[in-house]
Amino acid sequence: MKLDAVYGLHAVTTLLQRSPDQVVELWVMKGRQDQRMQRVLDLAAEQGLDIREADKGLMNQKADEGNHQGIIAWRKPIQNKNEKHLPDILDGISGNALILILDGITDPHNLGACLRTADAAGVQVVIAPKDKSAPLNATVAKVACGAAEAVPYIQVTNLARTMKELQERGIWIVGTAGEATHSIYQQDFTGPTALVMGAEGAGMRRLTREHCDYLVNIPMAGEVSSVNVSVATGICLFEAVRQRQLG
CATH of the domain at 35: 3.30.1330.30
The reply to whether 100 and 217 lie within a common domain is: yes
For residues 119 and 66, membership in a common domain is answered with no
- Both 187 and 126 in one domain: the answer is yes
Q: Tell whether 218 is in a known binding site.
A: yes
DSSP character string of 58-108:
HHHHH-TTS--TTEEEEEPPP---BGGGHHHHHHT--SS-EEEEEES---H
Number of structural domains the chain divides into: 2
Q: What is the pLDDT of residue 90?
A: 96
Residues 40 and 87 in one domain: no
Verify that 163 and 223 share a domain, yes or no: yes
- In terms of domains, do 70 and 103 share one? no
Domain enclosing residue 112, as ranges:
83-246
pLDDT in tens, the chain (247 residues): 788 888 888 888 888 888 888 899 999 998 888 888 999 999 999 989 989 999 888 888 887 666 888 999 998 887 777 899 999 999 999 999 999 999 999 999 999 999 999 999 999 999 999 998 998 887 887 788 778 878 999 999 999 999 999 999 999 999 999 889 999 999 999 999 999 999 877 789 999 999 999 999 999 877 666 778 999 999 999 999 999 998 6
Q: Are residues 87 and 71 in the same domain?
A: no
**Same domain flag for 236 and 211:** yes
Q: What is the CATH number of the domain that holds 227?
A: 3.40.1280.10
Contact yes or no for 231/98 (Cβ under 8 A): no
What pLDDT, on a 0 to 100 scale, did the predictor assign at position 82?
85
Domain boundary among 53, 75, 97: 75
